[in-house]
Amino acid sequence: MPAAFIEELSARVQAALGERVRRYDSLPDELSIELEAAQLLEVARILRDDPSLRFEMLMDVAGVDYLDYARTEWRTSSATVTGFSRGVNRAAAHTLSGNRRFAAVYQLLSITHNQRLRMRVWCEDAEDPVLDSVTPIWAGADWFEREAFDLFGILFRGHTDLRRILTDYGFVGHPFRKDFPLIGNVEVRYDPLAKRVVYEPVSIEPRTLVPRVIRHDNRYDPALYDLPRKDG
């Protein structure tokens, strides 16, 4: 959206919600707000029902793990000195404070006003992240919250059917957490003798995901530099 529309939407959100929400940095063509977990249900109802806002549709809910935020580099739309990823000052203090590690990000759409809004809600506890379920407000949150629970381990209080949706029933851990091992904890296979799927310890070894020279390349041997060329 043009900057003028973003600012106009921001003013309406601020007027309706006051100090319960705060704006945070985002791309120029979008508006992002954040709030504390205790305010989630109240803010969600106002966003849906206030005539000046009318965010009737929840487009998505995504879990986020900020474990290494601002400590490691990752690729973004903005280049750094390397040209590939977000630069990090590892000597600086961590940008997050307190116990904040997990958050849920809600993508909202107002069909009435044809506008979008991003809302981030912080979980209060990094060890046992919990948020209220917004399914009573937006029924479409059902599967989205199950996905965030499955992949990040975020519990949604009041969800009527909170169970895994992408991983197997016997899966150990939550695979999108930043401290989850890349090779996983267990592997599964079908055992023809037992005639069932069995779980076993992971048999593959972790790999270093950095290219390495594993043999000497004769093309760069210094002894070859001064040899005459065969073409004259």
Tell me what pLDDT residue 76 has. 52
Domain 3-66+101-169 has CATH 3.40.640.10: no
Residues 6 or more apart whose CB falls under 8 angstroms from that of 136 comprise 41, 158
Task: Read off the tokens for 124.
Answer: 């209060």
Full-model pTM: 0.76
Tell me what pLDDT residue 139 has. 95
CA distance 157 to 135: 10
Torsion, Cα of 65, 66, 67, 73 (10° steps):
110
Domain ranges of the chain: 3-66+101-169
Tell me what pLDDT residue 162 has. 94
Q: Which residue has the higher pLDDT, 70 or 30?
A: 30
- Residue 171 backbone dihedrals phi, psi, to 5 degrees: -65, 140
CA distance 127 to 17: 29
Tell me what pLDDT residue 230 has. 65
pLDDT tens digits, 107-148: 999 999 999 999 999 998 888 999 999 999 999 999 999 999
Mean pLDDT for the chain?
83
Q: Is the pLDDT of residue 93 over 80?
A: no
